[in-house]
Amino acid sequence: MREVRWEEYIEFLRQTNFVVIEDVRIPLTGRKQLTRLQPEHFEEETTTVWSFPERGDWATHQGNYRGNWAPQIPRNLILRYTQPGDIVLDPMVGSGTTLVECRLLGRNGIGVDINYSALMLAFDRLNFEPLNLYEELPPASIRLFHGDARCLNLIENESVDLVATHPPYAGIIRYSKSEPIEGDLSQMRSVDKFLEAIEQVARECYRVLKPNKHCAILVGDTRRHKHYVPIAFWTMERFLRAGFILREDIVKVQWNMKSTRERWSRGKVRDFLLIYHEHLFVFRKPDINEKMHQFKWSMQNGSASHPE
């Protein structure tokens, strides 16, 4: 794990004006002056079904990084579970959607990614200022690290107020196609290997999170041989095994599933349903000296014991 500083991004930008992720060329545009920093219409979610037909496009948010989550998701999580000045960690930060929301909402953000190109794109998305000289952003510190979410060795124990992330899962989208990166979870076709890796991620998230704070992870399911593979629930089980308590299970409706529709519209008529949802699990780390028995049915196997 190595911190990547702003000067490194500036030097990268001098040498090239694009990155390639999932064999897609994404431009880097440098410093941007923006007229619209906040969403025009936004209300905090109040139920366990979240649906965003229109992907947010305020600030520098874009949808050209396939698989990144809609900015409405981290915005809701940050507003609900943190206060200004708190520290938010995204250990698989991708194009930086979570960190952009941290800047806009006055939270200190930490982003980690194993893909260096993704970090350069995240820096580029964070490279903005208000066009209006009289409009100020709330104070926020953003740090980016090149590293593996399974080993967050430069982040101190119990130093983070919220973990919020959307990991790649079981080879659905491969972010490092042309040049495979060792340890890239998006390359793991084996469900067993993916779940083993995600449990390591869960334990690191548990370690760095403060007691009584929250960890949110968005993950979906897939099919193998036309049968349903519930990756999300197996992922949930790994986080419970790490010691977390399940606070919420939010069904996030998927929109703009163009590639999925095109894939299954060709050839034979399918005899199964298309998956149009993901699960956003919100976990809580137990507080110090908290009585755990009352939460036993929200923990691993109905057990109130702490992790090893």
Q: What is the mean pLDDT of residues 97-102?
A: 98
Distance CA 278, CA 171 (A): 16
- pLDDT category at 115 given cuts 50, 70, 90 is very high
Q: How far is CA 289 from the centre of its chain?
A: 30
For the chain, what are the domain ranges?
A: 2-24+70-288
**The CATH number of the domain covering residues in 2-24+70-288:** 3.40.50.150
- C-beta of residue 102 within 8 angstroms of C-beta of residue 118: no
| Segment 117-152, tens digit of pLDDT | 999 999 999 999 999 877 899 999 999 999 999 999
- Quote the tokens at residue 138: 């709330």
Q: Is the whole model's pTM more than 0.75, yes or no?
A: yes
| Segment 167-198, tens digit of pLDDT | 986 555 454 455 656 666 666 668 899 999 99
> First vs last Cα of the chain: how many Å apart?
25
Q: Whole-number mean pLDDT of the chain?
A: 90
- pLDDT category at 68 given cuts 50, 70, 90 is confident
